[in-house]
Amino acid sequence: MTSDTPYPAGFAWGVATAAYQIEGAVDEGGRGPSIWDAFERQEGAIFHGESAAVATDHYHRWESDLDLMAELGIPAYRLSLSWSRLQPRGEGALNPEGVAFYRALLAGCRARGIEPYVTLYHWDLPLALHERGGWPARETAVCFGEYAALVAEELGDLAEHWTTINEPVCASFLSYSWGMQAPGHRDETEAVRAAHHLLLAHGLALAAFRERRPQAKLGITNLVSNLAPASEAPADRAARDQVDVRFNRVFLEPVYRGSYGADVVAVFGEHGLTLDEVEGGLVRPGDLALISAPADFAGVNHYTNTLIAADPEGWGGARMIQVEPTPTTFDWSDTPEALREVLLRVSREYTGLPLYVTENGAAFADYATPDGTVHDPERIHYLAGYTAAVGEAIAAGADVRGYFLWSFLDNFEWSHGYSKRFGIVYVDYPTQTRIPKDSAHWYRDFIAQHTPGRTS
Ligand code: IFM
Distance CA 129, CA 138 (A): 11
Long-range contact list for 428-432, CB < 8 A, 24+ apart? 428/368, 429/54, 429/56, 432/56, 432/57, 432/61
Distance CA 383, CA 292 (A): 33
Question: DSSP for 353-379?
Answer: S-EEEEEE---B-----TTS----HHH
Measured from the CA of 303, which atom of ligand 1 is nearest? 7
| Alpha carbon nearest to ligand 1 atom 10, residue | 413
CB 35 within 8 A of CB 89: no
Distance CA 293, CA 56 (A): 37
> From the candidates 167, 188, 341, 413, which is the catalytic residue?
167
322, 326, 332, 392, 439 from 378: Cα distances, Å: 17, 11, 13, 21, 9
Residue of 243, 220, 221 whose CA lies nearest to 230: 243
CB 216 within 8 A of CB 209: yes
147, 149, 173, 409 from 201: Cα distances, Å: 10, 12, 16, 29
Distance CA 435, CA 37 (A): 28
Question: DSSP for 14-51?
Answer: EEE--HHHH---TTSTTPPPBHHHHHHTSTTSSGGG--
Query: Among this protein's residues, is 167 annotated catalytic?
Result: yes
96, 271, 357 from 228: Cα distances, Å: 49, 26, 21
In sequence order, the β-bridge partners of residue 166 are 221
Provide the pairing of β-strand 305-310 with 318-322: antiparallel
Distance between alpha carbon 292 and the CA centroid of its chain, in Å? 19
CB 190 within 8 A of CB 268: no
> From the candidates 23, 359, 378, 413, which is the catalytic residue?
359
Written as tens digits, the pLDDT of the chain (456 aa) is: 445 789 999 999 999 999 999 999 999 999 999 999 999 999 999 999 999 999 999 999 999 999 999 999 999 999 999 999 999 999 999 999 999 999 999 999 999 999 999 999 999 999 999 999 999 999 999 999 999 999 999 999 999 999 999 999 999 999 999 999 999 999 999 999 999 999 999 999 999 999 999 999 999 999 999 999 999 999 999 999 999 999 999 999 999 999 999 999 999 999 999 999 999 999 999 999 999 999 999 999 999 999 999 999 998 899 999 999 999 999 999 999 999 999 999 999 999 999 999 999 999 999 999 999 999 999 999 999 999 999 999 999 999 999 999 999 999 999 999 999 999 999 999 999 999 999 999 999 999 999 966 654
- Between the CA of 36 and the centroid of ligand 1 the distance, in Å, is 14
In sequence order, the β-bridge partners of residue 179 are none
- Between the CA of 413 and the centroid of ligand 1 the distance, in Å, is 7
Phi, psi of 129 (to 5 degrees): -75, -35
Residue of 415, 409, 366, 427 whose CA lies nearest to 48: 415
pLDDT the model gives residue 149: 98
Long-range contact list for 264-268, CB < 8 A, 24+ apart? 267/242, 267/316, 268/192
Distance CA 268, CA 4 (A): 47
Residues with CB under 6 A from ligand 1: 18, 21, 167, 301, 359, 406, 413
In sequence order, the β-bridge partners of residue 321 are 307
406, 411, 421, 422: residue to mutate for ligand 1 pocket, most atoms within 8 A of CB: 406
Measured from the CA of 363, which atom of ligand 1 is nearest? 9
* Buried b or exposed e, range 90-126, using 16+ CB within 10 angstroms: beeebbeebbebbeebbebbeebebbbbbbbbbbbbb
Q: What single letter denotes the amino acid at residue 228?
A: A
pLDDT the model gives residue 2: 45
CB 226 within 8 A of CB 304: yes
